[in-house]
Structure 1
C-alpha cells in the first residue's frame, strides 16, 4: 500500500514524498512534490503501473540517451565482438551526435524521422541510414521498452528510403584463371584456389587447420572462424579472435575435389604442418642482412641531395636519409643517451604480433589487388566474390539447390537462390527456347506465300473473330435477361 511522507527541505519548505511498493515488495519513491494531492496521485499511479505488470522506474526515462547507451545498453547487449565493433563506429559517427544529449522520454517518432532527414542532408548513403536505424536504433529502443524504461517504441514504424538490390556480378572461370596466374606466389594461389573450390568465407578459410581435412575421404569440416578486430575491442587486447563456430552457429562438412586435396596434402608435407597448425599462415619476413664491415675509404656515400655523408653518423641518417644498420645504430645510440638524461619522452614500444592468421587487409593489398589489376578486368571483384562464384558455378553446372545451400552454410534456401542465373551465359537456354518458338518454320522455296495471299488470310481471320464476338455477346444478353425474369 502506498502512502505519502511529509518532508522538510533545507530552506524550511514542507514537501511531500510519494512512496509505494514495487512487484518485489521493495519500497520505492515516485518523486517528491509541493502538495499532498500531487504526491498521493503519484504513488497511486505507480501502484497502478505495478498492478498492470509494468516494471521499471518511470524516472529512468529522464536519463540521457548517451548515458543509457554507453553505460547500460552497449556493455550488456549480447552480440558478436565484430558486430559490437561495427556498432560502436556507427553509433559514434551517425547516432550519438544527434541523440546523445536528449532524454529518452523526449525522443519520439518525429525525432527519429528528423534524424533520418539530417543524415540524408549530410550525404550519408541510404544503406548506411537503414543499417543504423534498423539494426542499432531499433535494438536500443526495443531493450528500453522491454526493461520498462520507455512505454512505447519511438522508431517502430518509421520508414527509411528504399535500398535497391543491385544485380550480382559473378567471376567467370576465364576471369578467375587470369587472377590466379597473376598471384605473387604458390601459397597465395593455393589459398585462392581452395576458396573457389570450397566457397568458404574468409574467416572460415584462414582458420582451417590440418585436423579439419580428412584426406582419405576428402571431407572438410568447417567448425570455427576467425575475425580481425581493433585491439581496444578485443577482450584480450589482441587482433584476431577465434570463434568456436562458423557463421550460422552450426558446423558443416563439405567434400573437396581430388585435385585440390592432392595440392593441400603436398602443401602440408612440404611445410611439415602438424594437426593443430593452420593450413594457411602468414610467414615472418626474413630480417635484412647485417651491414658488412667496410674499409675506411668506403665509409662515405653520396646522398640524393648531392652531398657526401659518412656512414654511422646522425647526419647520414637524418639528412642523407640512409637507413643502413650502421646509421640506424648511430641514431639509436644517440636517442638512448638523450632518454637516459631525461631529455626525451620515449614513445610506447611497438607490440610484436605473433599471431599466424593472415590479415584480410594485408592479403588484399599485397596479393589480391595487384593480381586483379594485372588481370585487367572490366570490373573489380572482391575476395568474397569467390564464394559467390563457387555457388554460381555449381548451380550453373546442374548441382542440386539444397546441396549448394548446405555447402555454403545458408539457413534459408532463398539466400542460395540469389546465385541462380548470375553467370553471363545463364539465360542462354531460355533465349534458345524463345528463338525456337518465334522462328517461322522453314518452307520450301516454291511454296512461299505471296503478300496478297497473306492479306486474304488475315482478313478471313479477322472476320471469323468478329463473328465469334457477336455470338458471345448475344449469349451474354440472353443469360442476363433470363436471370432478370426469373422469380425470386
Structure 2
C-alpha cells in the first residue's frame, strides 16, 4: 500500500509519493507540490505494478552511460565478436555524445543531431549506419521493452545511403600469380584449401584432421575460432573456439581429390593427430628478421625539414620515421640500455601458446607480400577467396542450391549475388547483341530493287487479282471458270 510523505521547509511544503515494488521494496514515484498529485502518482505506480509493468520513477532519469554499462551491456545476449565490435562503437562514437544525457531526455531530434555531429567529424556513412542501425537501435529497443523510455527515439531516423559496391572477383590467373609468390608450401596449401572450400577464415584456421574423411573426401564444418582482445575474452585469452560456425549451422560437402591428397600428405609429413589443427603457427613462415639499414645512402627529409638517415635513433625520435629499419634500430638501442641496467626493464610479455594463426599476422607476412609481388591492378583480401569460390562454381554450371549449402548461407538471395560476377559473365549477352546488330546491318546493305524487277512484280500481282475475280464470278454462276494461265 502506497502513501504520501510530507516534507516541510521554510519556503514550501513538498509531498513525496511512495509505493512498494514487486519485490516489496519501497520506491519513490516522485515529489510534488500538492498532496493530491502525490496521491495520484503512487496509485498509478501501483496499478502498473499489478499489471506486471516494471515501474520505477528513477529508472527513466538514469544517465545513458549508467544504463548501458550497468544494465544493457552485462545482460544483452550476443556473440563475443559482436560484443567487441559493439563496445568499440559505443565508446568511440555514441558514449561521448549521449553518455551524460538522461534516458528520458533523448528524443528523435537528438538522434538526428548526433548523426550530423558524426558526419562533421568525418565518420563514414557506413560506420554511422552501423552505429545507429545495429547498436543504438538495439539499446533503445531493450530500453523500450523494459519501460525505461516511453518512445523509441532512434526508430525511423534515416542515415545517409550507403551504396553497395561492385564485387570484384579474383580470376584464375590472378590467383595463380599470388599463389606462386607465397613464402612456402604450407602457406600455399592453406590458401589453396581456402579457394577449394570457400571457408571463412575462422572456419579454415579451426579445421582439424578429424573433420575430413580422406576416403570419401567429405569435409564437416562444425566449429569456428574468433580472435578477440584480451579484455573482451571470457578468460582473458586471445582465441575463442565456438562449437558452431556462423549462422549456427553445421554443414558437410565434398572436396576435390587433388586437395584431399595434398592435405593427407601434409598430415603425414607433420605427423598430425586427429585433434590437431591442419594449419597452425608452426607451419607458416616465420616473421622476417629486421635488419638495421646501413647508414650513408638512405637519407630522407623529415616533416621538420631536416635530413636524417634510416636505421638511426635520431630518425626514429626526431624524424618521426617508423619504418622497419628505424624501429629495429630503436629496439636494439633500448635492449642494449636495459641489458646494461640503465633503464627499468619492461614487464615480460606473456607467451601465447595457442596454435591458431592470427589473421593480421598472416595478412602482413604472407598474403600482402605475395599480393604486392603479383602486381595486380587491385588489392584482393583473403576473404575474396570465398567470393571467388562461389563465383567459379556458379560460372562453371554448379547448382545454386548446392553452392548455398557449401557456403553456409541462410538465404538463397545471398548466394545469387555471386551470379555473373566474373569479368566474362556478360559474353553471352554481348554475343546476342552482336547477332541482332549484324542481321540489321545485312538487311540495310542489300541493294534496292530495279525498275524491271518492280514491273515484273506488278504484273504478277495483276494476274493474281484477275484469277481471284474469275473464281468469284464462277462461284455465283455455278459454271466452271476458264482460268487464264500464263
- Gaps in structure 2 of 5+ consecutive residues: 289-293, 297-312, 315-325, 455-486
Q: Provide closer, same or farther for how the CA distance between residues 85 and 330 of structure 1 changes in structure 2, counting only shifts above 3 A.
A: closer
What's the secondary structure of 2:429's corresponding residue? helix
Shift of 1:22: 4.2
Shift of 1:30: 1.1
Are positions 1:62 and 2:82 aligned together? Answer: no
Shift of 1:58: 3.0
> How many Å separate the matches in 2 of 1:190 and 1:451?
70
Q: Which residue of structure 2 lines up, in the alignment, with residue 3 of structure 1?
A: 3
Q: Which residue of structure 2 lines up, in the alignment, with residue 198 of structure 1?
A: 197
Structure 2 matches for 1:7-406, cutoff 5 A?
15-22=14-21, 27-50=26-49, 53-283=52-282, 334-335=340-341, 345-406=344-405
Query: Is the contact made by 2:198 and 2:390 (CA closer than 8 Å) also made in structure 1?
Result: yes
> How many Å separate the matches in 2 of 1:58 and 1:409?
47
> How many Å separate the matches in 2 of 1:152 and 1:330?
62
> How many Å separate the matches in 1 of 2:420 and 2:358?
32
What's the secondary structure of 2:17's corresponding residue? strand
> How many Å separate the matches in 1 of 2:37 and 2:450?
99
Q: Which residue of structure 2 lines up, in the alignment, with residue 484 of structure 1?
A: none
Shift of 1:127: 0.4
Q: Which residue of structure 2 lines up, in the alignment, with residue 480 of structure 1?
A: none
Shift of 1:276: 0.6
Deviations 1:106-143 (A, max 9, x none): 10000000000111111111000000000000000011
> How many Å separate the matches in 1 of 2:157 and 2:138?
14
- Equivalent pairs counted in the alignment come to 418
Query: Which stretch of the first structure deviates more once superposed, 227-236 or 385-394?
Result: 227-236
Q: Which residue of structure 1 lines up, in the alignment, with residue 476 of structure 2?
A: none
Q: Provide closer, same or farther for how the CA distance between residues 35 and 213 of structure 1 changes in structure 2, counting only shifts above 3 A.
A: same
Q: Which residue of structure 1 lines up, in the alignment, with residue 409 of structure 2?
A: 410
Query: Which stretch of the first structure deviates more once superposed, 354-363 or 44-53?
Result: 44-53
> How many Å separate the matches in 1 of 2:427 and 2:277?
42
Query: Is the contact made by 2:207 and 2:278 (CA closer than 8 Å) also made in structure 1?
Result: yes
Query: Is the contact made by 2:30 and 2:57 (CA closer than 8 Å) also made in structure 1?
Result: no
Query: Is the contact made by 2:287 and 2:365 (CA closer than 8 Å) also made in structure 1?
Result: no
Deviations 1:355-392 (A, max 9, x none): 11111101111111111111111111000000000000
Q: Which residue of structure 1 lines up, in the alignment, with residue 448 of structure 2?
A: 450
Shift of 1:440: 1.1
Q: Provide closer, same or farther for how the CA distance between residues 16 and 451 of structure 1 changes in structure 2, counting only shifts above 3 A.
A: farther
Query: Is the contact made by 1:5 and 1:17 (CA closer than 8 Å) also made in structure 2?
Result: yes
Query: Is the contact made by 2:48 and 2:55 (CA closer than 8 Å) also made in structure 1?
Result: no
- Gaps in structure 1 of 5+ consecutive residues: 289-302, 306-317, 339-343, 457-488
Query: Is the contact made by 1:196 and 1:390 (CA closer than 8 Å) also made in structure 2?
Result: yes
If the length of structure 1 is used for normalisation, what is the TM-score? 0.79
Shift of 1:236: 1.1
What's the secondary structure of 1:216's corresponding residue? coil
What's the secondary structure of 1:78's corresponding residue? coil
Q: Cα RMSD between the aligned structures?
A: 3.2
Query: Is the contact made by 1:58 and 1:149 (CA closer than 8 Å) also made in structure 2?
Result: no
If the length of structure 2 is used for normalisation, what is the TM-score? 0.79
> How many Å separate the matches in 2 of 1:103 and 1:329?
51
